[in-house]
Amino acid sequence: MNFLEVLQLSYRSVRTNIGRTVITCCIIGFGIMALVGILTAVDGLKSYLSKSFSSMGAGTFKIRNRSLGFNLDADNDEGMKVFRNISYLEATEFKDKFNDRYLTSVQYIGTQGATTKFGNKKTNPNILVVGSDENYINNESYTLQQGRNFTPSELKLGTNVAMIGSAVAKKLFGDSYTPEDRVIRIDDVKFKVVGVLGEKGSSFITTDNMVLIPITKARQLYTYANPSYVISIKGNDPENMQPVEEAATLLFRSIRKLHPGEPINFDLLKSDSISGMFLEKMQYATMAGFIIGIITLIGAAIGLMNIMLVSVTERTREIGTLKAIGADNKSIRLQFLLEAIVICQIGGALGIILGIAAGNAVSLSIGGAFIVPWMWMLVGISFCLAVGLISGIYPAIKASKLDPIEALRYE
């Protein structure tokens, strides 16, 4: 018997024993679904984290008075560091000296619970009001969907003008609007809308549910005892930010009158360092998903081997007949081995489809992108081939060693 004849015989046997084939395919499919599904979900989470932190602005970092409020290292229990507040004079002095080389923006969080109104429509009291300057939208990677940026005179005088996020515009004006020169109320204070920010999507760093007003106006409306300002700097070359960070650190040390060797009393928040920290830890999730998938496939391999052994017993007379008409041991081994491989590949295809669906369901639910995990699909197919070989080799050898006379007499 040549290879093609053996393959056809294996395929007919798979179709004939449809019940056993379905059960075995489901076992294999579950294992592959666990492997591909978990790893696809992990890749989706990685995509979401990268998108979230990159939306902070390519080649942009911030000077703040506090570090991040979390730490991913279990061995490092050092919590959030809080330094002396950054004053308005310090922030504006830094901008005056640094803005001629790199775009610099001074930002002030007025409130995170404002309500905006237009006519009889109003938003929930969860609007972020940010006081900033002409460089904010550039440094934070926003675009202007409609309207214009603040003018120098509006920033200097603290005019009641505002740029609103796309979510606020849709809530107040509907899907079709031209909001320029429309007057809205922010916590009962009238502001003329001069621009609408392009949709960016909510993330850890940015939001469309916000209103931008001149920083001088924000300081008048939202007065706090000892406010702290945030400085945003955008480098000219996103791939080479270290010189910019070093220059900014040196200048702000000088502004804060820190002596040489004295530790800095401010924090540099960089989007790439945050995302890198998360993605590094996500490697453990990938490893865990891989191990879970392997364990599941080991169980599937054992189940397939048992089913193939049962198949050998059920088809003893068939094996005897094949040997009687001239099939050699090699052909019998190859037939059962190919059966195991075909069943595994069918189950693997089912598992890959279900795994992609399950993994992307998780990814999309958390805001990640739809992912076609080509690498994990190839890994799944390879594992199916390996499982088929491992599970089928012993039953195939057992079938090939059956004595044809005893096999024909088997009841």
Instruction: Convert the pLDDT of each residue in 247-277 to its tens digit.
Output: 999 999 999 999 888 888 898 887 665 556 6
Average pLDDT over residues 129-141: 91
The answer to whether 189 touches 160, Cβ cutoff 8 Å, is: yes
Burial status of residue 220 (CB atoms within 10 A of its CB: 0-12, 13-18, 19 or more): middle
Q: How many residues does the chain have?
A: 411
Least Cα distance to 142 among 60, 211, 194, 200 occurs for: 200
Instruction: Report helix, strand or coil for 111.
Output: strand
d(CA 78, CA 70): 9
Sorting pLDDT into bands at 50, 70 and 90, what band is 74? very low
135 has a pLDDT exceeding 80:
yes
Average pLDDT over residues 327-332: 80
Residue 305, CA distances (Å) to 11, 156, 338 in order: 18, 79, 13
Q: What is the CA radius of gyration of the chain?
A: 33
144 has a pLDDT exceeding 80:
yes
Q: Which residue has the tokens 């109003």?
A: 122
In 222-288, at which residue ranges do the beta strands (DSSP E only) sit? 230-234, 267-270
pLDDT digits (tens, 9 = 90+) for 18-63: 777 787 788 788 878 888 888 888 888 777 766 665 555 557 888 9
> What ranges do the domains of the chain cover?
3-52+277-408, 84-265
d(CA 272, CA 42): 19
Q: What's the confidence (pLDDT) of residue 72?
A: 47
Strand duo 103-114 + 127-132: pairing:
antiparallel
Sorting pLDDT into bands at 50, 70 and 90, what band is 68? low
**Structure-model confidence comparison of residues 281 and 205, the more confident one:** 281
Q: What's the confidence (pLDDT) of residue 313?
A: 78
6 has a pLDDT exceeding 70:
no
Which range is most confident: 114-118, 315-319, 388-392?
114-118
d(CA 297, CA 33): 10
d(CA 404, CA 8): 22
The answer to whether 116 touches 89, Cβ cutoff 8 Å, is: no
d(CA 105, CA 60): 11
Q: Could you give the residue ranges of the DSSP H alpha helices within 325-409? A: 329-365, 374-400, 404-408
Task: Count the Cβ atoms, other than its own, within 10 Å of residue 1.
Answer: 18
Query: Angle at which helices 271-314 and 316-324 pack, to 10 degrees?
Result: 70
Least confident of 46-50, 149-153, 241-245, 346-350: 46-50
Sorting pLDDT into bands at 50, 70 and 90, what band is 279? low
Least Cα distance to 61 among 300, 268, 286 occurs for: 268
d(CA 47, CA 39): 12
Residue 127, amino acid:
I
